[in-house]
């Protein structure tokens, strides 16, 4: 994808997230458990909102010139995704709850304002722009690579939040295509092509659930 394609896909998905976060049913169920065990609707909304807010935060962070992590490796290296008390999931919940603590109206407003600013700012950032991944000390990504990871998060969590709130939403097709491409490539990197082939065509030999990344 070109830089323009990636940024357009991201902004379309971010716009959908902004609309979902403003739904009355999201606010009404803020304290209730979401479809993700151990995570409230509010925390899930906070997690979704962070895929907008963090782009601004990361753009404002300082970069030191480290070798950038690719979006594929960003996901392929993850461990403990299916374990609720893993360090990964504990950290995700903590950051999500921190954001959700502001309340539904504030989170929705912050996300909308950030999306509006990014709609202008992303068009002005150069193709080789890098960002600091602030929750991973010393780590950097190319901006467009990071936006691809956010398309993955939108594709997964727009549906999670919509189901949790009892409303309907759809991930825009451009962002969905980005998400599938990244996750499929991550499965290949993590498990190898033979295992991925088995998952696609010989499920009885798919001993390692090779298409599962998150």
Residues 6+ apart with CB under 8 A from 116: none
Alpha carbons within 13 angstroms on the beta-carbon side of residue 188 total: 9
**Do 113 and 22 contact (CB within 8 A), yes or no?**
no
To which residue do tokens 């935060």 refer? Answer: 57
Residues 6 or more apart whose Cβ sits within 8 Å of residue 105: 27
What pLDDT, in 10s, does the model give residues 24-76? 999 999 999 999 999 999 999 999 999 999 999 999 999 999 999 999 999 99
Placement of tokens 């949790």 in the chain: 164
Cα torsion through 212, 111, 45, 77, rounded to 10: 30
DSSP letter, residue 38: T
- Each residue of 92-139: pLDDT tens digit? 999 999 999 999 999 999 999 999 999 999 999 999 999 999 888 889
Question: What are 184's two structure tokens?
Answer: 């499929």
Residues 13, 38: Cα–Cα separation, whole Å: 25
Closest CA to 81 of 64, 99, 93, 67: 93
34 close to 174: Cβ distance less than 8 angstroms: no
Among 50, 15, 9, smallest CA distance to 147 is for 9
What percent of the chain shows pLDDT beyond 90?
93
């Amino acid at each position: 994808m070109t830089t323009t394609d990636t940024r357009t896909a991201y902004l379309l998905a971010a716009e959908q997230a902004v609309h979902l976060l403003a739904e009355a049913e999201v606010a009404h169920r803020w304290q209730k458990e979401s479809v993700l065990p151990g995570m409230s609707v509010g925390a899930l909304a906070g997690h979704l909102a962070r895929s907008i807010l963090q782009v601004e935060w990361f753009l404002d962070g300082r970069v030191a010139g480290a070798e950038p992590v690719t979006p594929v490796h960003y996901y392929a290296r993850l461990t403990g995704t299916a374990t609720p008390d893993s360090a990964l999931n504990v950290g995700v919940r903590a950051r999500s709850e921190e954001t959700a603590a502001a309340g539904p109206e504030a989170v929705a407003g912050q996300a909308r304002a950030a999306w509006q600013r990014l709609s202008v700012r992303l068009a002005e950032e150069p193709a080789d722009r890098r960002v600091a991944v602030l929750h991973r000390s010393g780590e950097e990504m190319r901006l467009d690579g990071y936006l691809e990871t956010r398309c993955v998060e939108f594709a997964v969590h727009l549906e999670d939040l919509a189901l949790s709130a009892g409303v309907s939403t759809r991930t825009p097709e451009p962002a969905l295509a980005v998400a599938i491409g990244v996750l499929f490539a991550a499965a290949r990197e993590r498990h190898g092509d033979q295992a991925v082939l088995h998952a696609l065509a010989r499920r009885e030999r798919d001993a390692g659930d090779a298409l599962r990344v998150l």
